[in-house]
Structure 1
Amino acid sequence: MAMSDRPDLAAMLFPFVRELMAMERPILEANGLTMWGYSILITLGSEPVRTQAALAEMIGADKTRIIADLDALQEAGMITRDVDPDDRRVRLVAITAKGRRARDRAQAAIQREEERILAPLPAADRRTFLRVAQSLADLTRSS
């Protein structure tokens, strides 16, 4: 099989993703969040209540990995973890108003910076890139 004229996807995307993560870190810190904490709040925004195990699966983390992040978010008043009345072994996780405000502030600031980073691209290319990125994210979640 002949070698391709293009680099592998990871080789192309990694420098860009690394730049995005570096851009996000101070924004998240300014809002009292870690990247994992932000991922949790973003996920809770789409579904108001999840079990800890289901939440970990949704963000692609081991359920034991996110316990410290859940503890920190709960201590900061950004989430609640209540016993499920149907199964006392299960904790239901819900975002609070404070968590929504922190998530929304962080997301707005991150997306402003993303627009700045993508600004050199023609508008049609930006729209296409964002549409394809969303399609790839959806494919990844469904596999």
Structure 2
Amino acid sequence: MTSGSKAHDVITKATKASGARAKRATAAETDRHGPDLEWRLRELQDRPGFLIRRLHQIHVALFLEECAAEGVTPVQYSVLTALDQMGGAEQVALSLAVGLDRTNIADVLKRLEQRALVARRVAPEDRRMKIATLTDAGRELLGRVEAGAARAHDRTIAALPPAEQEQFLGQMRILVRAYGELSRSPVSFA
């Protein structure tokens, strides 16, 4: 049995056990107080928000472990990747591509510019706008980080059987697209 299969079995057993407890507790309480009480009665570890936040923390830890030698964060990697894919981009367009608000994108770009990974210049058509571009050093860093970032992404979902990994990613895309505009920093999907 692979470590992914073992992890999947552990997760499945834990989910079934906590689900049974939640069903017993909620059946009686829901009858008395309505369906809104169901989430309050669920254990914290069984709530979507908690699980999403924990999975994000786990992914960040895996990414930092895999890419520690380059000193790049997942957010910086996303910005560098977006610039590589977009070419030069105005900061607002870049913030929409990676889901960061304008203040945070400016701060990230400033740090990347200090490391000579990104160059910024004033847009000729509107001096209030700044265009960010990836430098040669930024492209080289992306090349060095690519394998580690790929391993971090793979490790994040490795506990799922291969057939379920793509399904899980698809379900996350559905949720992000359905509710993305509610975020402080919505993402523009092509």
Q: TM-score, normalised by structure 1?
A: 0.77
**More helix, by proportion:** 2
In structure 2, the partner of 1:38 is: 77
Change (3 A) 1:65 1:14: closer
User: Which one of 153, 158, 176 corresponds to residue 114 of structure 1?
Assistant: 153
Identity %: 27
Q: Which residue is equivalent to 2:63?
A: 24
In structure 1, distance between residues paired with 2:115 and 2:49: 36
1:74 aligns with 2:110: no
Tell me: CA distance 1:60–1:121, structure 2 relative to 1, closer, same or farther (3 Å).
closer
Q: CA deviation at 1:23?
A: 1.4
SS in 1 for 2:160: coil
- Classify 1:24/1:116 alpha carbon distance in 2 versus 1 (closer, same or farther; 3 Å): closer
TM-score (norm: length of structure 2): 0.61
Partners of 2:159 and 2:107 lie apart in 1 by: 39
User: Greater Rg, structure 1 or structure 2?
Assistant: 2
| Counterpart residue number, 2:4 | none
**Which residues of structure 1 form unaligned runs of 5+?**
none
2:162 is aligned with 1:123: yes
Query: Partner of 1:8 in structure 2?
Result: 47
Deviates more, 1:56-65 or 1:10-19: 56-65
Larger RCO of the pair (alpha carbons < 8 Å, separation 6+): 2
